[in-house]
Amino acid sequence: MIKPHGSDELNPLFVYDSVENEALQKEAEDLPSIVVSSATAANAVMLGGGYFNPFTGYMNKADALSVAEKMHTTDGLFWPTPITNLVEDAGDIKAGSRIALKDPNVEGNPVLAVMDVEAVEEFSDDEMAAMTEQVYGTTDTEHPGVAAFNSQGKTLLSGPIKVLNFSYFQSEFPDTFRTAVEIRNEIKEHGWQKVVAFQTRNPMHRAHEELCHMAMDRLGADGLVIHMLLGKLKPGDIPAPVRDAAIRKMVELYFPPNSAIVTGYGFDMLYAGPREAVLHAVFRQNMGATHLIVGRDHAGVGDYYTDFGAQEIFDTIPEGAMEIKIFKADHTAYSKKLDKVVMMREAPDHTKEDFVLLSGTKVREMLGEGKAPPPEFSRPEVAQILMDYYQSLNS
């Protein structure tokens, strides 16, 4: 099985021992505490589940700046985006403090993790701007990832953490949320050696489905992990439970038994385009995937990134920096000429009119009016779930 990133064994930071977990929960009641940002909470969940292996906690200033600029820590570990705990004001917290990190996304702000603070450091405005530009490719505050990153504050708390729960992800998505540890175990149980991961924050239409089949066939893969983002999205994106239901129906009807598993992870979308594509690859290696499908404008938003920037960045990564491989995908669409879904670059004799192409806006309009998109675009059973959702918004 593929090794985790940066170590021989996966190092999840969740405290699985119930006695220790309970003792830490009790200790946390008397510790100084802060309600962290949603991004910091999501980082804790990812650290807890082993997705951010081999890190033992939040990065210090030198590592965060190095990762943003050069995609590696000060000691040379390859990593594409800073893992930070940023706050507006650290108050009395200083190096050597032991603190409780409280969850901003759950009522009552329960303790998410206990942290040993090794350093309290400040970013200057120029440093924040530089990191923003390097990670997101822009400092435009209209970019949802830029806005979220810069809204947290400029004071950085770094140091190791012990994670005590998985926020709302485990309770709200019990059938879907899985840690990297759990997915590795499931891959082992299936006996899969070559495993393709598919990242999604949207329901999967026919083109996505066929892209997964294509990748599996061309790579000779044993299995597919459809890995759904369950955290915060931008306004207008379809909620996770609806996506989950639609994707499960597609897998049930259109994939051979035991060839695909539907899972999810607890993280807030960065919309960081190329840098986030690399992050997606690294933490998919940690969960046991050998390949990640990277498509057109992967993890992008608006017009901030070029169509294939998220693929081209992988050509700049040093040899051996990570073990997972990329399956580079073009835009896929149904060809009326060939009567099947194809990658558009593999159909050079086609014109635009030869494909069934619908904009996201058009599809949402149709679904909201109770009209199913053509079966070449969306499986009817999947379209029905989405129609029910959009019509519930209008009722």
Positions annotated as catalytic residues are 201-202
Q: 200: which 2 tokens?
A: 């999604």
Q: Which amino acid is at 47?
A: L
* 390 contacts: CB under 8 Å, gap ≥ 6: 364, 367, 368
Q: What is the DSSP letter of 318?
A: P
Q: In this structure, are residues 247 and 203 in contact, taking their beta carbons and an 8 Å threshold?
A: yes
Nearest-angstrom CA–CA distance, 72 and 74: 7
Q: In this structure, are residues 53 and 9 in contact, taking their beta carbons and an 8 Å threshold?
A: no
Phi, psi for 341 (deg, rounded to 5):
-80, 135
Direct distance between the N- and C-terminal alpha carbons of the chain, in angstroms, rounded to an integer: 49
Extended beta strands in the chain, E state = 33-35, 57-58, 86-87, 98-102, 111-116, 119-122, 155-163, 195-200, 223-229, 260-265, 291-294, 325-328, 332-335, 340-343, 355-356
Closest by CA to 361, choosing from 390, 324, 332, 325, is 390
Q: In this structure, are residues 67 and 21 in contact, taking their beta carbons and an 8 Å threshold?
A: no
Nearest-angstrom CA–CA distance, 355 and 26: 60
Nearest-angstrom CA–CA distance, 215 and 195: 10
Asked, as a colleague might, if the bond just before 54 is cis with ω within 30 of 0, I would say: yes
Continuous segment of H or E residues that includes residue 131: helix 125-136
DSSP helix/strand/coil, 267: coil
DSSP helix/strand/coil, 62: helix
Q: 175: which 2 tokens?
A: 């059938």
